[in-house]
Amino acid sequence: MSEKPKKPKRPHYVFTLLVEVGRRDGDGLPADASGAALMCYASGVDEEEAVRETVAVLKTAEMNVLEVTGYGTLEERLAEGHDIEADERELMDRALAENAVIVAQTTVFREGDEA
């Protein structure tokens, strides 16, 4: 019996994602929070995979994911004129090296906050 030929490994990229979450028991947000926005860097062969992985990781952390907005790869963001600091690039490199989802920043929403 012959072995199946292995598919070539597709390259991974790091995508910048903004994830909005609502409240859920055990989510770890402050008691007075109404939700939060999480800036994430996620590795994937495409943005769709990066979003799926990010949502899966956040659900295991008891987060109630409401919406995900993708901002593209480092190269796409640079082409759009985004200014990307060294610390942000380091987190992106780490996400790629570890094939991981990195939550880089959390902004907590509270009742009465202006949008």
- Domain limits of the chain? 27-34+46-64+73-110
pTM: 0.87
pLDDT of residue 4: 72
Confidence at 111, pLDDT banded by 50, 70, 90 = confident
> How much of the chain exceeds pLDDT 70, in percent?
94
Residue closest to 50 by CA, chosen among 89, 94, 95: 95
Q: Please answer whether residues 29 and 23 qualify as being in contact, where contact means their C-beta atoms are separated by less than 8 angstroms.
A: yes
> How much of the chain exceeds pLDDT 90, in percent?
84
- Strand 64-73 relative to strand 13-22, pairing: antiparallel
Q: What average pLDDT score do residues 38-50 get?
A: 96
